[in-house]
Amino acid sequence: MPGESRRLLTAAALTAVLGGSLAATPASAAGTPGSIDWQPCADAPGVDCGSVTVPVDWAHPDRGTISIALARRKATDPQARIGSILMDPGGPGGAGAGEVKQGWALSAEITKRFDTVGFDPRGVGGSTQIKCGLAEVIADHPQMPRDQSEFEQLAAYNRKLGESCDRLSGPLGQFADTKSVARDMDAIRAALGERKLTYYGVSYGTLMGQQYAELFPDKVRALVLDSNMDHSQFTAFEFLDSETQSVQAEFGEFVAWCGRTPSCALHGRDVSKLTRDLQDKAARGELKDPQSGEVMMPLSLASLFQGSFYGPDWDRLAKTLKALADGTGPAAAVKAKDDVGVNTVFQSVFCDDWRLPVHNFAELEAYRRTAAALAPDVKVNSLGWAAVTGCIGWPDRTSNPQHPLQVHGAPPLLMVSSRYDPATPYAWSQAAARQSGSTLLTYDGWGHGAYFKNSQCVIKATDDYLISGKLPARGTHCAAVEPGTAQARIAGPKPPSTIAF
């Protein structure tokens, strides 16, 4: 039904971007040092707003321009200021400028020495937007096809949606790829007056940083890439399998936490059996939200795990599973990410960056069954599933397809990852570090966005690198910080409000 489609698309989009350099672009298109007209943000006291103008198509700068929105919080100690740090919160579709206006920041040591600059990538937020037809976005469609006919319905939905994006957004709809975003980032660097780029990117923001290092290795000062994408995942099955196993691995950690934590709502119960029973009921169409009475489909249940594993927010997840199993309690009140709008940029970006063809229902069903056999509790990673199936039938070609990360001539990069990450598997950061020769700092804990997990070990190692360029020793691990309730988290760096990849 349409409401279910909207919620699942929202959860997938929020649950939470390669090649040789082109010829030099005229300064008028790419931005010149000091060319940002900073003005106080009307909606964020203490924050400055500005923009840079970049080409829609970097290969043909004369074919029109777009605006990239920026927000800046100045360094709190001007005497200690080093420069600016550019930041992106992931997505695709995360608005860095919007997040900085809402308070997104790294540690006090970083905000003391750097101007914090967030940017809304092309198509997003305050930048020139990619707009898609509302009727096409909310049209009913099968999220998990049950036969070839439904597979074709999904392909038709995606095709019509993509065509509406191109119709309403013009050429920008076909130039949302992350290679273009990386070029935008260099225009921002120049406009900020920075000789070299200092950058923190999390989740899909790591792909932006990776591709920046490939394109502009001589313009890198320090890049922190937290919770990495692995752009060498070449097939749909490889992508889905690694994503699903990462969620299953954190499920095992959740079960262990519940077993050792008396305050867990499922302490003393067989959490795995309870979960599999819920999965069976969802597959039969018999699982209902005890508050609303609405049927929860398998992907709704999968999204519940996905969203709860980001923090992680295991306390809330246990209470929700108990309510679903017992048929009592306010399950609807604890659903993750149900109160935000649909992010219509996700497919325009992801399908431009990833060529993951699925040719028919039989192929897709084989992928689903194999992944579910390897992940018997969670069955599927809802974000990975939505990403792959969202490109079935998409009308635009993939202009920035996968290849192993190749960085030559850049200073050392720092990659960071949680050992148990539900969105960007630890193996992805390992692969990206291996391909690029980067140092990988491992947080032996849980959740997405390792810098924001209250680990002073992670924060100090990252800050030292950003400030001085000093890397942690290769193979460094930081101990896990035991998760508590959402209210128990200590004060520290403020994470972005929504990240998916």
Q: Residue 14 — pLDDT band, cuts 50, 70, 90?
A: very low
Predicted local confidence at residue 162, as pLDDT: 95
424-463 pLDDT, tens per residue?
A: 999 999 999 999 999 999 999 999 999 999 999 999 999 9
Task: Answer with the residue of higher pLDDT: 425 or 337.
Answer: 425
119-176 pLDDT, tens per residue?
A: 999 999 999 999 999 899 999 999 999 999 999 999 999 999 999 999 999 999 999 9
Architecture of domain 39-130+177-231+403-478: 3-Layer(aba) Sandwich (3.40)
Predicted local confidence at residue 417, as pLDDT: 98
Task: Answer with the residue of higher pLDDT: 149 or 63.
Answer: 149
Predicted local confidence at residue 92, as pLDDT: 92
Predicted local confidence at residue 18, as pLDDT: 28
Residue type, 76: T
Tokens at 135, concatenated: 């009727």
Predicted local confidence at residue 330, as pLDDT: 52
Length of the chain measured in residues: 501
d(CA 482, CA 374) in angstroms, rounded, equals 27
74-102 pLDDT, tens per residue?
A: 999 999 999 999 999 998 999 999 999 99
d(CA 242, CA 185) in angstroms, rounded, equals 29
In the numeric block, the tokens 């997840």 are attached to 317
Backbone angles phi, psi at 464, to 5 degrees: -60, -40
d(CA 361, CA 176) in angstroms, rounded, equals 28
Predicted local confidence at residue 52, as pLDDT: 97
Residue type, 208: M
Predicted local confidence at residue 337, as pLDDT: 38
Going from N- to C-terminal start, the domains of the chain cover 39-130+177-231+403-478, 236-391
Cα atoms found within 13 Å of the Cα of residue 99, Cβ hemisphere only: 30
- Is the model's pLDDT at 488 over the cut of 70? no
Predicted local confidence at residue 493, as pLDDT: 85
Q: Residue 405 burial by CB count (10 A; 0-12/13-18/19+): exposed, middle or buried? A: buried
- Is the model's pLDDT at 475 over the cut of 60? yes
Q: Residue 293 — pLDDT band, cuts 50, 70, 90?
A: confident
d(CA 175, CA 121) in angstroms, rounded, equals 12
Start-to-end CA distance of the chain, whole Å, equals 26
Instruction: Label residue 199 left, alpha or beta by phi (over 0 means left) and psi (-120 to 50 means alpha).
Output: beta
197-227 pLDDT, tens per residue?
A: 999 999 999 999 999 999 999 999 999 999 9
Q: Which of 404, 348, 342 is nearest to 92 (CA)?
A: 348
Predicted local confidence at residue 341, as pLDDT: 29
| Count of CB atoms situated within 10 Å of the CB of 160 | 18
- Is the model's pLDDT at 486 over the cut of 50? no
162-190 pLDDT, tens per residue?
A: 999 999 999 999 999 999 999 999 999 99
Its pTM stands at 0.90
d(CA 475, CA 79) in angstroms, rounded, equals 35
Q: Which of 136, 72, 154 is nearest to 358 (CA)?
A: 154
Predicted local confidence at residue 498, as pLDDT: 67
Strand 65-73 to strand 48-55: parallel, antiparallel, or no bridges (unpaired)?
antiparallel
Strand 65-73 to strand 83-88: parallel, antiparallel, or no bridges (unpaired)?
unpaired
Round the average pLDDT of the chain to a whole number and report it. Answer: 89
- Is the model's pLDDT at 501 over the cut of 90? no
Q: Residue 292 — pLDDT band, cuts 50, 70, 90?
A: confident
Q: Residue 343 — pLDDT band, cuts 50, 70, 90?
A: very low
Residue 271 Cα to chain centre, angstroms: 28
Predicted local confidence at residue 116, as pLDDT: 98
Q: Which of 291, 340, 334 is nearest to 315 (CA)?
A: 334
Predicted local confidence at residue 294, as pLDDT: 85
Percent of the chain with pLDDT over 70: 88
CA dihedral 55, 56, 58, 63 (to 10 degrees): -80
Predicted local confidence at residue 291, as pLDDT: 75
